[in-house]
Amino acid sequence: MSQVLIVTGGSRGIGAAVARLGARAGYAVCVNYRRDRAAAEAVVADIEATGGRAIALAADIAVEDEVVSLFRQVDEALGRVTALVNNAGILERHARVEDMDAARLARVFAANVTGSFLCAREAVRRMSTRRGGPGGAIVNVSSRAARLGSPGEYVDYAASKAAVDTLTIGLAREVADAGIRVNAVSPGVIYTDIHASGGEPGRVDRVKDAVPMKRGGQPEEVARAILWLLSDEASYVTGANLDVSGGR
């Protein structure tokens, strides 16, 4: 039986790197995307060109019905999920707290927290050995921002990632005896398009001197840590949160 990996927000950035590396590690991969079908299909085409198996499926992970449908489509197309990477996340334009409103917080928490929660729930329902499943592994993509707080830029995003950290610990303990490991990675500053949504496309180069290793990270460097946490190499690791931040 093949291992099946779902990567949320897998059409670009860290998610696309996870999808490609996951396929190389032997997973059949679902590349979830919200809007950019062409980019998701390009990732699938890359994977197929190297002999791997992948499909692209649309779903807004903040919407419960869409998440339920996503996992059902994966059941049919690839088989029962054994690995989930909760990678999809959003960052809104840099702002100070006095200029943020409830609608912004709702959007950020819906994508980053509710989305991760709903996907984890669907995965646990299928993986749990208590329900006849084969077990599995989940990795949540958090952020160093959860502990830095991101003052003056995006305290809302930082707080949402702190919620992801707590969700990781709670889920890990809840399903530890059901054959499921749940871990997180906390990237520092990584070269992806998320910084453009924050209104600062050149952010990584601006802040890289504050990184002890004096450089930003590449999406593949985060993806390798994620693939390790998913793999049997990490068979006794659960509830952990691995910084991939150049020492930040």
Active-site residues: which are they?
157
Q: Which stretch binds ligand NAD (CB under 6 A): 58-66, 70-78, 129-137, 232-240?
A: 58-66
Cβ atoms of 74 and 81 closer than 8 Å: yes
Rule CB under 6 A: say whether 116 interacts with ligand NAD.
no
Query: Whose CA is closest to 153, among 91, 217, 215, 108?
Result: 91
Identified binder of ligand NAD from the candidate list 7, 44, 62, 113, rule CB under 6 A: 62
Q: Contacts with ligand NAD in 153-172 (CB under 6 A)?
A: none
Identified binder of ligand NAD from the candidate list 111, 113, 158, 167, rule CB under 6 A: 111
Q: Contacts with ligand NAD in 186-205 (CB under 6 A)?
A: 187, 189-190, 192-194
Query: Whose CA is closest to 112, among 82, 91, 139, 134?
Result: 91
Beta bridge partners of 6: 30, 84
Please, what is the Cα angle at 88 between 85 and 90, to 5 degrees?
150
DSSP code string of 140-169: EE--THHHH--TTT-HHHHHHHHHHHHHHH
3-state SS class at 245: coil
Rule CB under 6 A: say whether 9 interacts with ligand NAD.
yes
Query: Whose CA is closest to 169, among 244, 117, 116, 240?
Result: 240
Tell the smallest beta-carbon distance from residue 195 to ligand NAD (Å): 7
Rule CB under 6 A: say whether 141 interacts with ligand NAD.
yes
Identified binder of ligand NAD from the candidate list 3, 47, 82, 115, rule CB under 6 A: 115
Select 47 or 128, whichever has its Cβ closest to ligand NAD.
47
Rule CB under 6 A: say whether 225 interacts with ligand NAD.
no
Rounded distance between C-alpha atoms, residue 104 and residue 80, angstroms: 35
Rule CB under 6 A: say whether 184 interacts with ligand NAD.
no
User: Interface with ligand NAD by CB under 6 A: which residues?
Assistant: 8-9, 11-15, 34, 60-62, 87-90, 111, 115, 141, 143, 187, 189-190, 192-194
